[in-house]
Structure 1
Amino acid sequence: MRFDTLAVHGGERVPGPEGSVVFPIFQGTVFTVEPGSGYHDIKYHRLNSTPTQSYLHDKLAALEGAEAAVATSSGMAAVTTILHSLLGAGDHLLVGDCLYGGTHDFLTQHAARLGWEYTVIDTHDPSSWEVRDNTKVVLVETITNPLMRVGRHREVIEFARSNGLTSVVDNTFASPVNFRPVVAGFDLEFNSATKYLNGHADVVAGSVAGSSELVEKVRHTLNLYGGSLDPHAGYLLARSLKTLGVRVRAQNANALAVAEFLAGNGKVAQVNYAGLPQHPDHAHASELLNGYGGMLSFRLDGGVRAAEALLAALKLPANAPSLGGVETLITRPSTTSHAGMSPEDRAAVGITDDLIRLSVGIEDAEDLLADFAEALDKV
């Protein structure tokens, strides 16, 4: 089945309980135990094994083209559980040089305490990647937050395979509409499902997908750490997955229109969007991705003052730190998503104080462009 058909029908129970077409919420926490069930197979909410959870997991796996998937209580629960599942004291991992602020903060503040070592790599320079005897994992982002770089992911996959590493990718900014990491060859992928997978700014969740063996390993760790997703939130997420393709394609188109408009405006100093021919990763991103996503970032002439003036003048985008929803959101990462990084760390990867990040929604593109044109006239 093609993607939109999978989004509607993948993982569905036909017929559903009591003949339902829409799979219901199993809000209960207590289920009878079948004889011979192992601990992790008991139907229990914290064990991520209740009917609503299992249904959601099957739907996520179908969309990702993966053998298995598991939902988590947040995107951070997804990445931290993955790392705790794959790494032990004394192990080493390679991480991309531009990570989501939460992932960066987790590693910088907790890796040493957990006995992990890590090396930051330039995801665009495979010749510089080196493994140690204790290297176990390589972790990258499909489209980086917030500079919208697209690394040499095919080379990452091959490098991991040839060196016996587990390859892990944060696919939040791309979503499975624009890139399916497991199909491409990554061992594990995760999403902050709060963002595009849900897309309506009303659920916090995460997802992990990959082989049955690896996902089960992650689920067992998750069961002990307790980062399970509430059944009602899982129901809402499964509902939203059915419109994922429709939403993301609209966001792709709108983001490209806004990026092109900004790139042609004299008050804009820089636009970061891989869909623009002048973007440094445009060529290989075009080969790798089915779409360039709904996220872009940019800088204005005039620095922080101009950035704040623009945010105040815009009418449609809300000044808010999240992303991936049907509404357009705008923020300065240095004050929100990457505020936990030191100014030195932000500067090292190019996250300047005047950088503006835009999550483009599904509004009419002409209305968005008119709003930006009017707001830029006031800057």
Structure 2
Amino acid sequence: MDSNKKLGINSICTHVGEVKDEQFKGAVSPIYLSSSYQFYDVDIKRYPRYFNTPNQEALCKKIAALEKTENALIFGSGMAAISTAMFAFLHKGDHVVLQQTLYGGTYNLVVEEFDKFGIEYSFTDSLNTDDFKKEIKSNTKVIFIETPSNPLLKIVDLKAVADLAKKHSIITMIDNTFASSINQTAVDFGIDIIVHSATKYMGGHSDILAGAIAASNEHTDKIWNVAKNFGGSLSDFTVWMLERSMKTMSLRVNHQNANAMKMAEYLEQNPNVDNVYYPGLRSHEDYELAKSQMKGFGGMLSFELQSDLDAMEFQRNLELIKPSMSLAGVESTVLSPTQTSHALLTPEERASQGIKDGLIRFSVGIEEVEDLIADIEQAIEKIKK
């Protein structure tokens, strides 16, 4: 296929990065499970820990095509991708600026590990660009953002942060997991390095653990030099499953976008709900910004029941929606961030980010909206009794 031909998003998901079955002409990629390859008379000396087996290389082409970057790398988890990217550009004496609201695992990585390596860090007071500017020091090497944020779906101005970083010769990194490659192309706004928990929308079926990084050749080369030492590569069977799953990513995500919008509108008018956090709602403080940099508003939202309703009992009484850790599967799930994604934070740290004990994070799946609404209503009625 002509690499210069501009393909639509579903065509990229389906065809780019597939391994050609030259022997039997099968319609899907063959899987190469070998952990040992010939080292002489070959163009590439392949070794699984070097991220260059046939299936690994092919999948990275699909991810790079979706993110509009020159290259990509695939990892054993989202945290493997985040930590490797960070340590590739941060060394003893360097400083990183991170946004105020972050995935709990990322926050924990920074506060528990960076001091050991002599890496300085600052968290912004808010997500305004001026707050990022205020935290920049002479030794700042990286700005790390996550938008929409987890779990309150706050939005960071991608272009403003990227422009700020470029003025100071700082590398920008984004956790693009919540938005997905379908809804947000961060490189279009000047972001340097895009990180994903591929476990989520790329996998989409709650059966894959993986991470991904997309960036320029220059930046991925630098990350690869660290990655081969850290050993966070992904098994080829999981790589094959992920490539298979990504073929339907656009179809899944666009349906989840539509469902989440309807669920957010329903919850916003529900008298038993105090607050709804979804960037697609006009009432969301970052609605206009989200509309300007996202193609879709995503399948994630959060909400707070009225204070006299027990959020945990509500989740226990759901019958269709699954109270479950993680997110972005085809099935709808809910969880309490204080007990899962942000459990590693102290109560004070959670309070500073606006994460209340009664907050429920809702990953909207592909079911009929009417069925999801009926499930929420019956669970509320049970706890009210």
What is the TM-score when the length of structure 1 is the normalising length?
0.96
Q: Is the 8 A contact 2:75 2:81 kept in 1?
A: yes
Unaligned runs of 5+ in 1: none
Distance 1:236 1:14, change over 3 A: closer
Inter-partner Cα distance in structure 2 for 1:253 and 1:53: 32
Q: Is the 8 A contact 1:91 1:134 kept in 2?
A: yes
- Written as runs of structure 1 = structure 2, the 5 A alignment for 1:206-355 is 206-302=211-307, 306-355=310-359
* Aligned AA (2:107): H
* Aligned AA (2:72): A
Task: Describe the superposition over 1:28-52 as per-residue Cα deviations: whole angstroms up to 9, x where unpaired.
Answer: 0111114597xxx520111111111
Q: Is the 8 A contact 1:97 1:123 kept in 2?
A: yes
Distance 1:309 1:215, change over 3 A: same
Inter-partner Cα distance in structure 2 for 1:315 and 1:334: 22
Aligned-residue offset at 1:256: 0.9
Aligned-residue offset at 1:216: 1.7
Q: Is the 8 A contact 2:95 2:142 kept in 1?
A: yes
Q: Residue 73 of structure 2: SS of its match in structure 1?
A: strand
Q: Residue 327 of structure 2: SS of its match in structure 1?
A: coil
* Aligned AA (1:277): R
Inter-partner Cα distance in structure 1 for 2:169 and 2:74: 26
* Aligned AA (2:375): D
Matched, 1:134 2:139: yes
Identify the residue that residue 4 of structure 2 maps to in structure 1. Answer: none
Task: Describe the superposition over 1:269-308 as per-residue Cα deviations: whole angstroms up to 9, x where unpaired.
Answer: 10000011000000110111011111111111125x5211
Aligned length: 375
Inter-partner Cα distance in structure 2 for 1:23 and 1:74: 22
Question: 18, 27, 30: which one pairs with 1:24?
Answer: 30
Aligned-residue offset at 1:154: 1.4
- Written as runs of structure 1 = structure 2, the 5 A alignment for 1:5-16 is 5-14=11-20, 16=22
- After alignment, is 56-65 or 83-92 more displaced? 56-65
* Aligned AA (1:98): T
Matched, 1:95 2:98: yes
CA RMSD of aligned residues (A): 1.4
Question: 59, 67, 72: which one pairs with 2:70?
Answer: 67
Task: Describe the superposition over 1:69-126 as per-residue Cα deviations: whole angstroms up to 9, x where unpaired.
Answer: 0000000000000011000000001001100000000111111111111111245322
Aligned-residue offset at 1:16: 4.5
Task: Describe the superposition over 1:46-76 as per-residue Cα deviations: whole angstroms up to 9, x where unpaired.
Answer: 1111111111111111111110000000000
Q: Residue 275 of structure 2: SS of its match in structure 1?
A: strand
Task: Describe the superposition over 1:154-203 as per-residue Cα deviations: whole angstroms up to 9, x where unpaired.
Answer: 11111111110000000000001100112332100110000110001111
Aligned-residue offset at 1:19: 2.4
Unaligned runs of 5+ in 2: 1-6
Q: Is the 8 A contact 1:81 1:221 kept in 2?
A: yes
Distance 1:11 1:361, change over 3 A: same
Matched, 1:186 2:195: no
Inter-partner Cα distance in structure 2 for 1:222 and 1:326: 31
Inter-partner Cα distance in structure 2 for 1:81 and 1:17: 37
Q: Residue 378 of structure 1: SS of its match in structure 2?
A: helix
Identical-pair percentage:
38
Inter-partner Cα distance in structure 1 for 2:180 and 2:23: 30
Question: 30, 42, 45: which one pairs with 1:42?
Answer: 45
Matched, 1:205 2:180: no
Q: Is the 8 A contact 1:57 1:70 kept in 2?
A: yes
Question: 351, 358, 361: which one pairs with 1:357?
Answer: 361
Aligned-residue offset at 1:218: 1.1
Identify the residue that residue 375 of structure 1 maps to in structure 2. Answer: 379
- After alignment, is 313-322 or 66-75 more displaced? 313-322
Aligned-residue offset at 1:370: 1.5
Inter-partner Cα distance in structure 1 for 2:29 and 2:42: 27
Q: Residue 264 of structure 2: SS of its match in structure 1?
A: helix
Aligned-residue offset at 1:321: 1.2
Q: Is the 8 A contact 2:158 2:186 kept in 1?
A: no
Inter-partner Cα distance in structure 2 for 1:332 and 1:91: 35
What is the TM-score when the length of structure 2 is the normalising length?
0.94
* Aligned AA (1:152): D
* Aligned AA (2:29): F
